[in-house]
A = this chain, B = another copy of it.
Amino acid sequence: MPAAYQPPVAAMRFLLEHVLDFDAQMAMLPGLEDVTSELAEEVLAQAGRMCTERLAPLNLPGDAAGTRLVDGEVVTAPGFAQAYADYVDSGWPSLAGDPAYGGQGLSRAVQIMLDEMVSAVNVSFGLFPGLTRGAAEALAAHGSEELKSLYLEKLTTGEWCGAMALTEAGAGTDLGLLRTRADPREDGSYSIIGTKIFISSGDQDFGNNIVHLVLARLPDAPAGVKGISLFLVPKFLPSGNGTPGERNAMSVGALEHKMGIHAQPTCVMNYDGATGWLVGEPGRGLNAMFTMMNAERLFVGIQGLGLADAATQAASSYARERLQGRAADGHGPVPIIAHADVRKMLLAGRAFIEPARALAAWTAIRMDVADRHPDPQARAAAHADVALLTPVIKAAFTDLGFETTVLAQQVFGGHGYIREAGIEQYVRDARITQIYEGTNGVQAMDLVARKVTMEGGEPLRRYLALIEADIEHAADHPLVPQLRDALALLADASSVIAAAEGDPDRLGAAATEYLHLFALVSLGWMWLRILAAAPALGDTRTPRGHAALARYFAAYLLPRAGLHAARIAAGPGPVMELDEELL
């Protein structure tokens, strides 16, 4: 078993209170005026206990047991159904939900900090409430009043679960190719016919209803993405009084056998004339689904962060206990944490996790502003920030998160390859985060082809100006000149991207490089903010060692910016020239 995960509650409070000006930000937002960093800490401390006491013990056994399909019914790993019931009873699914539908109306920043801890201890479990929340958001934004009144409270409280059914065998990244049909019925409902694959939380044995949001085509729909509509398809059709009634004509065709997240039932779903209802306008399904997917993409980035922290904490504990080798003065054996090479593997994780948590919380607060600020311009600006940062957080946090779990596993040596040690599970679980909810390549294309140039590039310019201003006002630290250089590289690269509009080869060759350059500068920016906050503190509960971690970041991680910039400068020529048949 890996060493016990320590919920980073003190670090979270520090970020909210001292780095992100959380209390003042919330005070401006109707409905969140009373949410303070003190309240957040109380909630998160309780959440941390729940995570370590209830969810963490199910993680390794859940990986070993996996999920099974018995007579067409999904059987989840021992303890999961009860844990989910307890999770709902304690109100965790509804933390940031709309109070009009049973939610507790907290900030999204608190929500993603809960998500981080749940992901750290049990990614498979966390997908149940995570997808449920996404379904609730899509329904809230696009559903009819009738659908909302029947489903939204159940989803907000987590009493019922949600799932997103997008992918088909021939339609993944390119959803325009999907073939599931929706035939209208006389009563206003639709008959859904088709097969979807890779449906996380598609079914389970929690004894509740499961609300699928399914992309399908109406009979007269045009080809491509403009012919796609969104449908709500519940496992059980609600009876007159709103309780789950008759079983819908949908079934689990198979459970996928996966590299990781074994305790998560990833389903092949058959809709055999299942009853569904249209959500939003016909032909606007992708638009409606994107409401759900953007929230999910941020959530997936947070999974990468949570797994990185859990793995690094475990590796750090191991490195303190494991005695091998000698110290510089020849005495030994010493704990391997004394060795520079081992320290680097731990530092790479730590130097990424701290500012990543800050950047995620910054983005979540911008979501709060986008949702609630009284000034429409302020809302629009915040919305643009979120649109800009979403692909960056999804892809960079999961790429760096995966890298971090691999480094943490390496600290364990041969023991890290053994399943009982628990660390290799983090690697296998982290691997999916780079793939699902849009592969990281898709995120990078979203960033370079849409987000950089949206609104004539104004949101990007505003974001870079924010960073530049903080650099100008920063105190002396080795990070400052390095970050200034990296920001200049990012600004140059942004011009290259903007000029490449309509040149898919140039955009495609640069996309992942640009996204990682963007992420490095953003993480460096958060380090600046963390450093600016640190000297003001006399609080011994807050994290220490920030100045040293930021120096490691500047010296060992930020130089990657130059690598990404060099590749962007090299352009698409070396990528495209080799004949396809020789590749």
Contact = CB atoms under 8 A, between A and B. Distances in A.
B256 A548 contact: no
B508 A341 contact: yes
Contact of A512 (B341, B555, B574): B341
Contacts of A332: 174
A553 to B, nearest CB: 9
Given A325-B174, A328-B505, A337-B580, A344 B556 contact: no
A55 B74 CA distance: 35
A258 B580 contact: no
Given A344-B512, A508-B340, A578 B566 contact: no
Contacts of A337: 580, 583
Contact of A440 (B410, B576, B582): B410
A560 interface: yes
Nearest to A552: B574
A372 interface: no
A533 interface: no
B431 A417 contact: yes
A333 interface: yes
A212 interface: no
Interface in A109-145: none
Given A198-B414, A414-B167, A416-B435, A575 B343 contact: yes
Given A413-B439, A434-B410, A566-B559, A324 B578 contact: no
B410 A441 contact: yes
A562 B566 CA distance: 10
B417 A432 contact: yes
Contact of A350 (B504, B579, B580, B583): B583
A264 B434 CA distance: 29
A339 interface: yes
A344 B509 contact: yes
Contacts of A333: 174, 176-177
Interface stretch (A89-97, A281-289, A419-427): A419-427
Nearest to A336: B173
A567 interface: yes
A414 B261 CA distance: 13
A174 to B, nearest CB: 4
Nearest to A412: B435
Given A574-B554, A574-B555, A582-B544, A419 B257 contact: yes
A293 interface: no
Contacts of A567: 555-556, 559
B259 A417 contact: yes
A327 B580 CA distance: 14
Interface in A533-570: 544-545, 548-549, 551-552, 554-556, 559-560, 562-563, 566-567, 570
B562 A574 contact: no
Interface string A256-295: 1111100000000000000000000000000000000000
A342 interface: yes
Nearest to A414: B198
Nearest to A260: B417
A435 B418 contact: no
Contacts of A556: 567, 570, 574-575
Contacts of A508: 339-341
A56 interface: no
A63 B436 CA distance: 24
A347 B419 contact: no
A152 B436 CA distance: 52
A340 B575 contact: yes
Contacts of A562: 559, 562-563, 566
A86 B578 CA distance: 40
A511 interface: yes
Given A174-B332, A350-B583, A559-B566, 4 more contacts: A413-B435, A424-B431, A556-B567, A563-B563
